[in-house]
Structure 1
């Protein structure tokens, strides 16, 4: 139908507009797809044949078009062997070097298997799940999936990685056919999202399977497997594949095909990768790293550190010193939007330096990375292989250098040799190496926040070494921690609780009197094991007229920003506790003498504490003295056992009602009867009382007879009430019929009354006489309403309007 002509005047005749063609949505399932031909071609495919290009494989036209548009034409070694087997539905364990094209090796079978099954649309459900250990790798897989599948595939694919709105992901999960996810986020949806159904899952893909199956994700993976159906195809890919029977049994693999294209290779890393290591003492690592950046300003460098706190400190410190190369940092504590932006900026940069943790060590494809620098030693050889795999990808060249502390050299080289990793030692030119220790100290002195970051970096590094399992490589006792703290610009090494030894917990729980005696003796001569050093207390012992240096002021300085509380914990002495700080524990307001590191305040007797605290005196009885180390015992009403008070911390327990309740037993809940007597909720008879009432069968018979008699009595009363109700209803009906017969038609009663109105008034309790006496008052008509005379005369109006409201009403009547 032609569109209506325009009514606006125009000098030129207007052309009739063409009718718009209605745009229809593309059908989710197409009828012209020859699925049977594809299935026959896949069934006839020889998986052991040597395929060199994607055109030689039985792939659908949308997949071929997507691969061509993304410029993927030639098959790599892992793709040549894995894709035919995956197309046939086999379970696969795939292992290949980093940068060998493992992503396409599982994405192409996912698209093809779902295409042949016509798993399209919300009614088809979830067909494939791809699990990745990190968000960055999941995003990269999803981007490749979009490139390959955008040329004709109609699958609904989604990215479930966390860091975004949970509700948006829930709304989209019900429509997804392919999901790329991380273990923690997908497990959250499996357990919490009601409309998420995985019963129709056909393929499960684990990328970087060795990382997903290790202890970090073991619980999540086991929980995910419980939700998935057993009759599925499972595909595992990684650069260092697992062969443990326990891992394979957990995944319920069915006769898996193990594919390792580089198993016979002489090295586990790409041949185009040049790998070296240097021996760098721990205090000189930052100096060497700074000197390396100064010599490689025109390169693209990826620097690995062991923790996110180290990444942030090194990034902030180097950024203030301006090395002449763009700096970026990436770790797991950042927001998802910031991580995406940093990843994109580093990928697009031609020369840049990215400080990162192992969150980017696996699977990520950064274009043209020239150097991979490992400042901190990796936890094992597999982590080293994944780290250096960020360079020399797709047969490009790359270089990697590893910083090793002298105590780590022998153990780490032995681990790399077992994994067939060729690595050579190189030296550092001392003439070109620059020390930045003084600059870091100056910055930490001027910026308390940077000093705080340095302290956290120190603690996180020591902790990362302490928790390592391979003690042949990581020897925390041989590390020069004091010198390392000085190299970070710190005035002293922060407090490290777990370095003091196995007796730390025992000393913490020891009585305060014995601990104070030992502490006073130790305070006279500081030991080398004290990480903060004796110089920390030197300013307290200086005379008033002594010269105070900048180092003295540095030791006395306190962080006054929002991190002050945490900062005070870091710089507190290792052996200090609450009793050494008068502002925290001194109940009488006494000051502790400054001459000793530890001193005991006047001990307050428990009975004095009770007398002073009138609120809590009702909970505690008078203490009884015992002869063991001066400790006291206090009997608390309702407690199972007396409380032993052998320290100030135990004495504080008496002032907390909440903690005292934990020492008491559980109370009994009572109910009150109608007479106000208290009874327990459940009162059970003892065996003697029960036997006195007779045999169990006799008691059961008496109980049934009594209940039957009670039910009969209630039934008789109910029946009598029902009969009375029916009798009353019958009498009312007869009375109504009698009245209708007397009045004839029963429409109008004598006196002009309406029978229905009379019945309603009678039902509401209003008598007819009262109805007759009631004369409704006649409403007085307003001035604008017409009134007719009682004799049917002419109509007349009321008085003229006087107010504005009356005039408006009259006007509306006339207009209406």
Structure 2
């Protein structure tokens, strides 16, 4: 019989314990001033070193050379480096090593939390973690939304490392009672300046409140924040600031060729189309300021077929579509992706040739992150910024302050093609495309309006009318905003004067001057008639008459007046019942009344109403004091339906009885004088709300503590059972008294159980089937018979049967 060469698990555990001590000693002896060139020179564990070697990571970059040794020793780090310099490995390697040296197991809970501002970046970090951590036994998950909370809750408690977006993880912290983060060792914020800005401020503050104060915090970004308030919010302790390119002459990679073009706003799409036609054998990334612009340009160019594969990506798309588009663009050789700033940070698209910024970025930091999608890892790349003449001076000045130098280039007019007529033709034939164009126009103007830097973004100087024509729209749509001097001028303008601002719509009935000129020239085509209409938000003339502020005369004497008929248009009131026109004479339960006054009949005439000449009458006292007018057969039938008459009946009151048997309304109003004696209503309201909040907060803390206590008790019982199990228990499978988890590459392990890209439906179904089979076998007595608890139960049953 051959002898097995596999070492005993006990010996593996003892050897690993010895290795951990030696590894800690090597980490503590690191000389931070020493220049290291390769990952092999770092004191790393065998699983991490093997994962890096298998993923072909050999040479250390500058940020990795300075950040990883400090991260291994437990320092808080503020890391700033250029885009594409390897910041992801700079924090993933310390995360894995710290948990490995502390012998982290499933029962220790969450050990590392990695926050990312976007879903795409979180997925990319997770994929890198899978590659370099394939030989570790930790479990990791991806929490970015897109799946049900219940499905995530079932797996969240078993995770050692979580890569997530701020909003989704905060939701689990507030709603998932089994999610324990009391033992968190490391908090990582990738693209920290974006996470710490106003968009995520309240979310990050709430997350930090849940985390333990004693932890390691790592912040990385290409444009790092140094605000004292931000650092205080994260409770950093003597952080190490690492800026490897702070003394460099440029904030962007040296291999990046940066240019800008000054082009008027109406000519931007023409220039973009001509550029795509001239670079069909390239991989191009085009940035817009809003998702509606992305949709319009994508749909328009897709119909015109420039000769290159087109894709579009924005934040309003579903998660599955966003994943498919990013993976398709990453693997494509020649393609063009229209996108918003949702992919401007951190994402690594291989071999991007051009980064085009069709819309001016909001600040210099956004520009740096956008152009960082090309020229990564010392490769060549090109970037072009489109600037409107009013934006040139201010934006170039802001970029120079950030050590970014751009060279101005010009467009060859001979090669530029105009697509305005094609867009107009498509918008005329396709109402949906015209609608997208109107939304794109509005979203662009609003994006310029909300910018804080008014030295760069000057809304009043933009040629918006010509811009709307370049989109193929028949006039500029109305935009409902106004602020400052512009709004004040519009309010003070005379009523008869039409607004002169380009962002305000013309009056519905006003005719532009071009109309008369067109009539004088000759016959107008249907295109002329469509593009002469300036206000596209008003449907028809009769609709504008309906919403007109001129009130039509209601007197009966003007019923046949032709001017009143013109004001009312084709819509006319057939019958109107008026309580003032009804004169009644009471008789028993029914009252004979005269018909209401009509526009086409004298006021003193008593006539029948309805097809069957039903006399109008009012019913009093049937249900309430309110008179019910019966003027048609349909209303007469209403008296026979108790269900329909309920709306005329007063609502019932729910009564409660006190100890003396007196009835009171369940929501009885308090005495007025007693209420006023307690103070102002607003003060009482604020006091009541604050008291209820404190009560709910206290109850929530009690509930959470009780749940955590029960969970700790169950975990201690489980550990005690594992210790009592001896050599036959599960303790041999892991180290440190825990349970060994499935490695990263195995499909039915716990790693990435929350990720859409890692676990397929077939694997989930297979796992559920195996679990059901295991439970069935256990109930039938085929599983677990060797356990001490199962044998005791069987002995008790047998002894009971014998005594009978």
Please give the range of the TM-score, normalised by the shorter of the 2 chains: 0.5 to 0.7
Q: Please tell me whether the aligned partners of residues 576 and 598 of structure 1 are also in contact (alpha carbons under 8 angstroms).
A: no
In the alignment, which residue of structure 2 is the partner of 1:240? 223
Q: Distance in 1 between matches of 2:35 and 2:580?
A: 92
Q: Please tell me whether the aligned partners of residues 492 and 531 of structure 1 are also in contact (alpha carbons under 8 angstroms).
A: no
Deviations 1:495-520 (A, max 9, x none): 11114766759989x9xxxx9xx54x
**Cα drift, residue 538 of structure 1:** 3.6
Q: Distance in 2 between matches of 1:550 and 1:190?
A: 60
Q: Please tell me whether the aligned partners of residues 93 and 241 of structure 1 are also in contact (alpha carbons under 8 angstroms).
A: yes
Q: Distance in 2 between matches of 1:551 and 1:480?
A: 23
In the alignment, which residue of structure 2 is the partner of 1:707? none
In the alignment, which residue of structure 1 is the partner of 2:430? 447
> Match for 2:525 among 539, 549, 556?
549
> Match for 1:338 among 321, 334, 352?
321
> Match for 2:131 among 140, 147, 159?
147
Q: Distance in 2 between matches of 1:570 and 1:105?
A: 57
In the alignment, which residue of structure 1 is the partner of 2:65? 80
In the alignment, which residue of structure 1 is the partner of 2:470? 487
**Cα drift, residue 194 of structure 1:** 1.5
In the alignment, which residue of structure 2 is the partner of 1:259? 242
Structure 1 residues 507 and 425, CA gap change in structure 2 (3 angstroms): closer
2:99 is the counterpart of 1:114 = yes
In the alignment, which residue of structure 1 is the partner of 2:79? 94
**What RMSD, in angstroms, separates the aligned Cα atoms of the two structures?**
4.5
Count of aligned pairs: 591
Q: Distance in 2 between matches of 1:477 and 1:325?
A: 36
**Cα drift, residue 99 of structure 1:** 0.2
Deviations 1:359-400 (A, max 9, x none): 000000000000000000000000000000000000000000
Q: Distance in 1 between matches of 2:554 and 2:45?
A: 80
User: What 5-or-longer segments of structure 2 have no aligned partner?
Assistant: 584-652, 675-804
> Match for 2:53 among 59, 68, 73?
68
Q: Please tell me whether the aligned partners of residues 552 and 567 of structure 2 are also in contact (alpha carbons under 8 angstroms).
A: no
2:20 is the counterpart of 1:45 = no
Q: How does 1:404-803 map to 2 (within 5 A)?
A: 404-499=387-482, 518-519=494-495, 521-522=496-497, 527=500, 529=502, 531-533=504-506, 537-538=510-511, 547-551=523-527, 553-554=529-530, 569=537, 579-580=547-548, 611=580
2:185 is the counterpart of 1:223 = no
Deviations 1:89-137 (A, max 9, x none): 000000000000000000000000000011122x110000000000000
Deviations 1:568-597 (A, max 9, x none): 758899x989832899999999999999x9
Range moving further from structure 2, 430-439 or 670-679: 670-679
Q: Distance in 1 between matches of 2:61 and 2:433?
A: 48
Q: Please tell me whether the aligned partners of residues 476 and 502 of structure 2 are also in contact (alpha carbons under 8 angstroms).
A: no
Q: Please tell me whether the aligned partners of residues 96 and 240 of structure 1 are also in contact (alpha carbons under 8 angstroms).
A: yes
2:118 is the counterpart of 1:134 = yes
> Match for 2:349 among 345, 359, 366?
366
2:331 is the counterpart of 1:355 = no
Normalised by the length of structure 1, the TM-score is 0.66
Q: Distance in 1 between matches of 2:287 and 2:436?
A: 18
2:167 is the counterpart of 1:184 = yes
**Cα drift, residue 32 of structure 1:** 3.4
In the alignment, which residue of structure 2 is the partner of 1:58? 43
> Match for 2:366 among 370, 379, 383?
383
In the alignment, which residue of structure 2 is the partner of 1:660? none
SS of structure 2 residue aligned to 1:372: strand
In the alignment, which residue of structure 2 is the partner of 1:104? 89
Structure 1 residues 269 and 554, CA gap change in structure 2 (3 angstroms): same
Q: Distance in 1 between matches of 2:125 and 2:562?
A: 65
**Cα drift, residue 162 of structure 1:** 0.9
Structure 1 residues 78 and 534, CA gap change in structure 2 (3 angstroms): same
Q: Please tell me whether the aligned partners of residues 474 and 533 of structure 2 are also in contact (alpha carbons under 8 angstroms).
A: no
SS of structure 2 residue aligned to 1:199: coil
Q: Please tell me whether the aligned partners of residues 578 and 584 of structure 1 are also in contact (alpha carbons under 8 angstroms).
A: no
Q: Please tell me whether the aligned partners of residues 204 and 233 of structure 1 are also in contact (alpha carbons under 8 angstroms).
A: yes
Q: Distance in 1 between matches of 2:28 and 2:292?
A: 54
Deviations 1:509-563 (A, max 9, x none): x9xxxx9xx54x236xx746474457984499999999552135526999xxxxx
Q: Distance in 2 between matches of 1:363 and 1:528?
A: 41
SS of structure 2 residue aligned to 1:522: coil
Q: Please tell me whether the aligned partners of residues 508 and 544 of structure 2 are also in contact (alpha carbons under 8 angstroms).
A: no
Q: Please tell me whether the aligned partners of residues 98 and 389 of structure 1 are also in contact (alpha carbons under 8 angstroms).
A: yes
Q: Please tell me whether the aligned partners of residues 310 and 336 of structure 2 are also in contact (alpha carbons under 8 angstroms).
A: yes
Q: Distance in 1 between matches of 2:469 and 2:26?
A: 68
Structure 1 residues 570 and 426, CA gap change in structure 2 (3 angstroms): farther
Q: Distance in 2 between matches of 1:372 and 1:153?
A: 38
User: What 5-or-longer segments of structure 1 have no aligned partner?
Assistant: 1-17, 559-566, 615-667, 688-816
Q: Please tell me whether the aligned partners of residues 582 and 591 of structure 1 are also in contact (alpha carbons under 8 angstroms).
A: no
In the alignment, which residue of structure 2 is the partner of 1:274? 257
Q: Distance in 1 between matches of 2:396 and 2:367?
A: 11
In the alignment, which residue of structure 1 is the partner of 2:632? none
Q: Please tell me whether the aligned partners of residues 272 and 398 of structure 1 are also in contact (alpha carbons under 8 angstroms).
A: yes
| Structure with larger Rg | 1
Normalised by the length of structure 2, the TM-score is 0.66
Deviations 1:183-217 (A, max 9, x none): 11111111111211110100000000000000010
Q: Please tell me whether the aligned partners of residues 347 and 367 of structure 1 are also in contact (alpha carbons under 8 angstroms).
A: yes
In the alignment, which residue of structure 2 is the partner of 1:291? 274
Structure 1 residues 683 and 317, CA gap change in structure 2 (3 angstroms): closer
Range moving further from structure 2, 35-44 or 64-73: 35-44
Structure 1 residues 577 and 417, CA gap change in structure 2 (3 angstroms): farther
SS of structure 2 residue aligned to 1:278: strand
Q: Please tell me whether the aligned partners of residues 495 and 572 of structure 1 are also in contact (alpha carbons under 8 angstroms).
A: no
Structure 1 residues 536 and 76, CA gap change in structure 2 (3 angstroms): farther
Q: Distance in 1 between matches of 2:672 and 2:320?
A: 68
